[in-house]
């Protein structure tokens, strides 16, 4: 299988930003970011980027790794780091057991990102110290149960993982939850921060404004879904009305990614039937 990566390396403020856009079998895949700040590596990218990332690791200086969550596009080279550099890898305790087992995610994700090898992670507490700074660890589920954000309250720098990604999402994974994501967004918006580093969309100088945009979009979507449910529409009918165009990822993923999951997660949160 032909895999091509377009890599970029830049420094914003005091954060080294490694980014790469993958093309797998001629199909463009999302851009992925790995960040390095104050001797702390944040996320490890997918297995398909291991060659490119190893070259970065070998010239970088860091003594620990923190994962925003365990999805394979964030944890794919963690096993290499553990085996070859011996650095501690920390993550929310919920995800540790899964990372220690062989990867069990669907075939299309293995083709897209590569196969994550097992590794042993250490549990994050409510804070983590890098070389000279202390980071507040904020549990922010919704996209993933083990998802965390990292905030330096002194500088107002936030690493948001996959909580943001885009202000107007059209599809989510089957096990994601719109209402839980909204609660996590509200939690972050109660923090004092300004700059935001997203694991797929990169750097935003106006982090709070971007999170407010996403929250407003999801709040409006919730209102539309509840109104349509009250009018007697099923989830499938709402999906056709609200999201008439299906992106290719719906078919490629066999429905693991779908706009329908936006609707059903809202209905489930309020104990409402989808049919």
> Domains in the chain, please, with CATH?
1-132 (3.60.15.10)
Please give the pLDDT value at position 206.
Answer: 97
- Structural tokens at position 129: 């110290």
Confidence band (pLDDT; 50, 70, 90) for 169? very high
Q: Return mean pLDDT, the chain.
A: 96
Q: Could you tell me which residue, 44 or 2, shows the higher pLDDT?
A: 44
- The mean pLDDT of 235-240, rounded to a whole number, is 98
Please say if the pLDDT value at position 1 is more than 70.
no
Rg (the chain; Cα; Å): 19
Please give the pLDDT value at position 106.
Answer: 95
| Bridge partners of residue 248, in order along the sequence | none
| Residue 15 and residue 195 in contact, taking contact as beta carbons nearer than 8 Å | no
CA distance 101 to 119: 8
Non-local CB neighbours of 226 within 8 Å, separated by 6+ positions:
266, 270, 272
Confidence band (pLDDT; 50, 70, 90) for 26? confident
- The mean pLDDT of 7-36, rounded to a whole number, is 90
Q: What global pTM score does this model have?
A: 0.96
């Amino acid at each position: 299988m032909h895999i091509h990566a377009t890599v970029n390396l830049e420094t914003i403020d005091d954060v080294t930003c490694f980014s790469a856009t993958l093309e797998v079998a001629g199909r463009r895949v999302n851009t992925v970011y790995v960040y390095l700040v104050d001797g702390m590596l944040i996320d490890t990218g997918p297995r398909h980027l291991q060659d490119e990332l190893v070259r970065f690791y070998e010239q970088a200086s860091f003594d620990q790794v923190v994962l925003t969550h365990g999805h394979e596009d964030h944890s794919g080279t963690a096993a290499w780091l553990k085996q070859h550099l011996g650095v501690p890898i920390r993550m929310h305790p919920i995800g540790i057991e899964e990372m220690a087992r062989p990867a069990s995610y669907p075939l299309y994700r293995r083709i897209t990102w590569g196969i994550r090898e097992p590794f042993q992670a250490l549990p994050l507490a409510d804070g983590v110290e890098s070389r000279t700074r202390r980071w507040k660890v904020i549990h922010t589920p919704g996209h993933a149960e083990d998802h965390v954000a990292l905030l330096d309250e002194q500088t107002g720098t936030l690493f948001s993982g996959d909580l943001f990604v885009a202000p107007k999402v059209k599809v989510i994974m089957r096990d994601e939850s719109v209402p839980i994501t909204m609660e996590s967004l509200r939690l972050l918006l109660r923090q004092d921060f300004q700059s935001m580093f997203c694991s797929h969309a990169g750097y935003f100088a106006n982090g709070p404004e971007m999170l407010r945009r996403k929250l407003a979009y999801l709040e409006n979507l919730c209102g539309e879904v509840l109104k349509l449910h009250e009018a007697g529409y099923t989830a499938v009918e709402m999906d056709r009305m609200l999201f008439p165009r299906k992106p290719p990822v719906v078919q490629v993923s066999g429905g693991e990614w779908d706009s329908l999951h936006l609707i059903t997660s809202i209905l489930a949160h309020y104990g409402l039937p989808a049919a």
